[in-house]
Amino acid sequence: TPFQEESISDLLKKHTRLKLQMSNDIYSTYHLYPPPQLSEIKTTVVYPATEKHLQKYLRQEVYLIRETGEDYKNITLPFIQSQSFSIQWVYNILEKTAEADRIIHENPDSSNGFVLIPDFKWNQKQLDDLYLIAICHRRGIKSLRDLTAEHLPLLRNILQEGKEAILKRFGVAGSQLRIYLHYQPSYFHLHVHFTALSYDAPGCSVERAHLLSDVIDNLELDPQYYQKRTLTFALRADEALLKKFQEAGKA
């Protein structure tokens, strides 16, 4: 986790062991062994983990895919429909059977409403790595690919109310937030990521993140934008979807 400003001085004195690596003029590098209270590692446990979880966290080669609208219909969609990666944790949040006390904001409308909640990657102790997700109440919107002009009211609510709620609770202005969707997401129930602009959050790279404000603009220009467009994303070497693209001669 990021260091708190107050603890930086402790890091350089109290109980810290330093082993010199090299020294040159005014420059030197060390191995530093911080005391336990300053060496917290935020940990997520997935238990029991499925084969898909294991794959997600194994280091692997990655390959870029260019998915046309047709590829989505012929390859990706049938693949997603054949998979059974549980999104029970999402329903638990929407139904308040898990994490209910962590909800930051809710618009309860069943078609244009959502729940804003800290992502479990964020421990909420410091704003440096601020990370929240907005999960829509409406079921059946799998991803960016499903979005049409019909979803604009929902997307505008998430953008507007999400920014307001984060300003009110955490004092961080909308201009200091990166607000985006993943394509592809890991979980196929529409959700939007809110991260601190100064934080390089995992998954905010150009081949995965789509800014919500750009998504709204694109849908205003063309209601079918995301059904037509070729979308780029990376797949890991032993992902079954990569094999499907390879079999179709597309990767």
Binding residues for substrate: 89, 99, 119, 121, 182-193
Point out the catalytic residue in the list 15, 105, 151, 191. Answer: 191
Long-range contacts, 46-53 (Cβ 8 Å, 24+): 50/85, 52/83, 52/85
- Residue with Cβ nearer ligand G7M (71 or 129): 129
Which residue type does 163 have? K
Q: Could you give the residue ranges of the DSSP H alpha helices within 8-124?
A: 8-12, 51-57, 69-71, 77-82, 88-94
- Residue with Cβ nearer ligand G7M (210 or 244): 210
Tokens of 68: 């046309």
Piece of 17-25, 185-193, 221-229, 231-239 that binds ligand G7M (CB under 6 A): 185-193
Choosing from 170, 187, 199, 225, the residue that interacts with ligand G7M (CB under 6 A) is 187
Could you give the string, one character per residue 201-230, with x where binding to ligand G7M holds by CB under 6 A and - elsewhere?
--x---------------------------
In whole angstroms, give the CA distance from residue 81 to residue 24.
60
**Could you tell me the sign of the dihedral formed by the alpha carbons of 138, 141, 143, 145, in that order?**
negative
CB of residue 203 to ligand G7M, shortest distance in Å: 6
> Under the criterion CB under 6 A, does residue 146 sit at the interface with ligand G7M?
no
Q: What distances in angstroms separate CA 7 from CA 4, 123, 169, one per listed residue?
A: 6, 17, 24
- Residue with Cβ nearer ligand G7M (75 or 190): 190
Piece of 112-120, 148-156, 172-180, 232-240 that binds ligand G7M (CB under 6 A): 112-120
Asked if 210 is an active-site residue, the reply is no
Pairing outcome for strands 131-136 and 191-196: antiparallel
Residues taking part in catalysis: 191
